[in-house]
Amino acid sequence: MLKIYGIKNCNSMKKAFDLLNELGLAYEFHDYKKQGIDAETVKKWLDEVGQDLILNKKGTTWRKLSEEQQQTALENQSNLISALTTHSSLIKRPVLQTEQAYIVGYDEAAYRTLK
């Protein structure tokens, strides 16, 4: 079964939910605003797809961090995991976990290849 991570009230998430429903794909939703996100999951994402895909530098949460906080987050993976678990809005949405891989961000073409 697919598992999708994100925040309920997000345009990218709404598009993802709509498409998954249209395709008739069953999924489990993990709302990390309500449920939080654990360091082990974030580490797995970073190891699998890299920080450039996971870390949302375009969002307001990143821009609201001081330059010092941004630099600290980028110093090493441990600091980045701490930042992402503390400020879950720094995680690009959605993160869709399939049996084979992770699809980060709304990617209609990739979703349409799922069975």
| Structural domains of the chain in order of their starting residue, each with its CATH number | 2-112 (3.40.30.10)
Q: What is the pLDDT of residue 14?
A: 96
Residue with tokens 């345009």: 11
pTM of the model: 0.93
pLDDT digits (tens, 9 = 90+) for 72-106: 999 999 999 999 999 999 999 999 999 989 999 99
Q: What is the pLDDT of residue 113?
A: 95
Structure token pair of residue 113: 């290849």
> Per-residue pLDDT for 115 more than 80?
no
Write out the H or E segment, with its range, that includes residue 6. strand 2-6
Q: What is the pLDDT of residue 19?
A: 97
Alpha-carbon distance of 46 to 1, in angstroms, equals: 21
In angstroms, the first-to-last Cα distance of the chain is: 10
Given a contact cutoff of 8 angstroms between Cβ atoms, the answer to whether 105 and 6 are in contact is no
Q: What is the pLDDT of residue 1?
A: 87
Given a contact cutoff of 8 angstroms between Cβ atoms, the answer to whether 53 and 80 are in contact is no
Structure token pair of residue 32: 């990390």
